[in-house]
Amino acid sequence: MKLTREDLLKSNEYWKVQLQNDLYGIIEEHMKKNNLTRSNLAENLNVTKGYVTQILKGEFDHKISKLIELALACNKVPLTYYVDIDEFVKNDALGKVYEVFPITRMQHVTYESKNPQPQAKPGAKISFDFQSSLATA
């Protein structure tokens, strides 16, 4: 069976390659920006030079805590989000890609009814017209 685009996007290998090489990318950029050698970086991260070499080969496959530590050491946050896989595949076929961008956080939101109802008095009989509520829904 020939590999399809959908099979690829649903494979473990595809996402592993993305994560490993994105991490490689931020570390490489950090090293260049700060003029760091592999030895400097190993010292800063308190890991061995061999460990740094492995990451720089795009072969990081360690604990999540280490991934976070490495990202933070490069002044990055490891922003992770999850998307429904079928929706992702569908959008990919439509030529759509996913990007992360900041939006303004919503604050103190109050929801007001468009048709405020008068408050019932204590002890009053409350009736509800189910059919009418469906018709206006």
Q: Rounded CA gap, 79 and 22, in Å?
A: 12
Stretch that binds another protein, among 16-24, 32-40, 43-51, 123-131 (CB under 8 A): 16-24
Q: Is 91 exposed, middle or buried (0-12, 13-18, 19+ CB in 10 A)?
A: middle
Binding mask 26-65 for another protein (x = CB under 8 A): --xx--------------------------xxx-------
Q: Which of 74, 96, 85 is nearest to 15 (CA)?
A: 85
Stretch that binds another protein, among 7-15, 61-69, 82-90, 105-113 (CB under 8 A): 7-15
Q: Applying CB under 8 A, does 88 fall inside the site for another protein?
A: no
Q: Rounded CA gap, 28 and 36, in Å?
A: 9
Q: Applying CB under 8 A, does 16 fall inside the site for another protein?
A: yes
- Give 8 or 83: the residue with its C-beta nearer to another protein: 8
